[in-house]
């Protein structure tokens, strides 16, 4: 039987190609990509605090040299009083509340290595403290730089031991300086940074609040969660005033326009158009306009990247309180547990279209759709536990406020920007291919 030579060659070439495809590893399949939410840290302060979890099945562990194992709590509220805690990674947010005549709240988080705090003071009336949590298993190193109205006020480096917390008084970094901006840079380690501003005059409390962290300066800034006195709080014995704090981190002065947005419209306050802001100096600008006893938001347009925050100072009869409102990031989805607080939700953006799904303390569930232009506000119908917000439009920004219903119901006031405390982390794992192993 004669074999066709052409067919024989074709069979040989096919065999060689098949053998080569088997022996040569596929260079395109070099790794697999996985995404996950990192665990977030909640700080510990001298006043006992409560962390509110979105779900009961989340695990926590104490941040201490003796604790590295996560444990189930089977609860949505966890006491934080003997040290900071770490909450297992999840897509929702863990909030931290504390009350002591005043109310403070912050979002538990994990730093991306570079954070700014526009708030706090090193003056005699202030007990501002920077709290740095190292939730990792090795030493962490941070650089802390403080700027006042005169420029650079101080800079120090710190080493934080594994599984520990370091508290730094701002009066030790910038003694006697009134208006401060604090920059925390992580050189090594797993760090979470928080700043609490507590104010006293002698034994008299003037209020307290956490200062929201900010990561990136922007040329268009939204601060949506601000409020004057509302409802039954509007009395002759109560007062509210607000101060805008600005900081330009670059080396060029900024020209800014400040726009105030309410449900009734928008306006530019006198003296806030084309205002020049000196670079690397903390600038405080008091608001002297009236907003008609209602929630409002601030939009800032700048020709240079800029940071901003708003300090609200309240007087309820003979008692005082403060609240810091920070820059909001673009909102896509935000979920958390308010543990029975009654919030006011504020939203800002050219076109606002958001949906809020919520569960009240009595178990009743509800859905609220909110839409508008420039600014929209909604007061929850009662005490809220879990809630989830979804934005259906891009370039929407949100924040919530918690105000007392009446002066006699407690004076606690706080703001929380709707910025997620943790973002998805992406990691690559190499594919092990035994075919690339050669034997000598």
Sequential DSSP letters for 254-288: EEEEEEEEETTEEE--TT-SSEEE-BTS-EEEE--
pLDDT at 15: 59
Within-domain flag for 260: yes
Within-domain flag for 37: no
pLDDT at 439: 46
Within-domain flag for 423: no
Q: What CA–CA distance (Å, rounded) separates 199 from 274?
A: 33
Within-domain flag for 385: yes
Q: Tell me how many domains the chain contains.
A: 1
Within-domain flag for 27: no
pLDDT at 100: 87
Within-domain flag for 82: no
Within-domain flag for 15: no
pLDDT at 9: 59
Q: Strands 384-391, 343-360: parallel, antiparallel or unpaired by DSSP? A: antiparallel
**Per-block mean pLDDT, blocks of 10 residues, the chain (440 long):** 54 57 51 79 93 94 85 93 92 94 93 92 87 94 96 96 95 92 94 94 88 96 91 86 97 97 92 96 92 90 98 90 96 96 95 97 96 95 96 97 72 90 69 50
Q: What CA–CA distance (Å, rounded) separates 71 from 86?
A: 10
Q: Which of 190, 211, 82, 70 is nearest to 132 (CA)?
A: 190
Range of the domain at 243: 217-418
Query: What is the value of pTM for the model shown?
Result: 0.88
pLDDT at 427: 59
pLDDT at 440: 46
Token representation of residue 385: 């536990």
Name the E strands within 171-247: 181-188, 191-201, 204-211, 213-214, 218-227, 238-247
Q: Which of 383, 354, 391 is nearest to 369 (CA)?
A: 354
Within-domain flag for 401: yes
Helices (H) and strands (E) in the chain, counts: 2, 33
What CATH number does residue 302 fall under? 2.60.290.11
Is residue 251 within 8 Å of 226, Cβ to Cβ?
Answer: no
282 CB contacts (<8 Å, ≥6 apart)?
Answer: 118, 147, 148, 149, 179, 180, 181, 245, 246, 247
């Amino acid at each position: 039987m004669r074999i066709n030579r052409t067919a024989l060659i074709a069979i040989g070439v096919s065999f060689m190609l098949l053998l080569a495809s088997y022996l040569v590893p596929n260079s395109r399949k070099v790794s697999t990509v996985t995404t996950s939410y990192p665990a977030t840290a909640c700080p510990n302060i001298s006043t006992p605090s409560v962390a509110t979890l979105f779900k009961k099945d989340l695990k926590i562990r104490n941040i201490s040299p003796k604790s590295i194992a996560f444990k189930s709590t089977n609860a949505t509220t966890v006491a934080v009083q003997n040290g900071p805690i770490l909450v297992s990674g999840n897509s929702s947010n863990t909030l931290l509340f504390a009350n002591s005549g005043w109310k403070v709240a912050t979002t538990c988080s994990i730093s991306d290595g570079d954070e700014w705090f526009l708030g706090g003071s090193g003056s005699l009336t202030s007990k501002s403290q920077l709290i740095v949590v190292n939730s990792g298993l090795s030493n962490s190193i941070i650089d802390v730089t403080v700027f006042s109205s005169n420029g650079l006020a101080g800079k120090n480096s710190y080493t934080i031991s594994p599984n520990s917390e370091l508290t730094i008084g701002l009066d030790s970094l910038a003694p006697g300086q009134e208006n401060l901006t604090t920059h925390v840079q992580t050189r090594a380690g797993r760090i979470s940074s928080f700043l609490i501003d507590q104010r006293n005059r002698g034994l008299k409390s003037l209020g307290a609040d956490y200062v929201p962290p900010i990561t990136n300066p922007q040329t268009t800034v939204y601060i949506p969660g601000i409020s004057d006195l509302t409802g039954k709080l509007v009395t002759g014995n109560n007062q509210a005033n607000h101060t805008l704090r600005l900081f330009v981190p670059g080396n060029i002065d900024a020209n800014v326009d400040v726009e105030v947005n309410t449900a009734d419209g928008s306006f530019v306050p006198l003296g806030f158009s084309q205002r020049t802001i000196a670079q690397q100096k903390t600038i405080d600008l008091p608001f002297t306009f009236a907003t008609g006893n209602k929630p409002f938001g601030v939009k800032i347009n700048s020709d240079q990247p800029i940071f901003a925050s708003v300090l609200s100072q309240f007087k309820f009869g003979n008692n005082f309180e403060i609240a810091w409102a920070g820059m909001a990031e673009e909102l896509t989805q935000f979920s958390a547990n308010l543990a029975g607080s009654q919030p006011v939700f504020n939203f800002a953006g050219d076109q606002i279209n958001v949906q809020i799904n919520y569960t009240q303390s009595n178990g009743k569930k509800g859905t609220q759709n909110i839409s508008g232009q420039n600014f929209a506000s909604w007061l929850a119908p009662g005490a809220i536990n879990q809630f989830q917000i979804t934005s259906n439009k891009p370039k929407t920004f949100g924040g919530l406020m918690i105000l007392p219903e009446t002066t006699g119901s407690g004076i606690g006031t706080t703001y929380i920007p709707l910025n997620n405390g943790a973002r998805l982390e992406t990691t690559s794992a190499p594919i092990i291919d035994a075919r690339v192993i050669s034997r000598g």
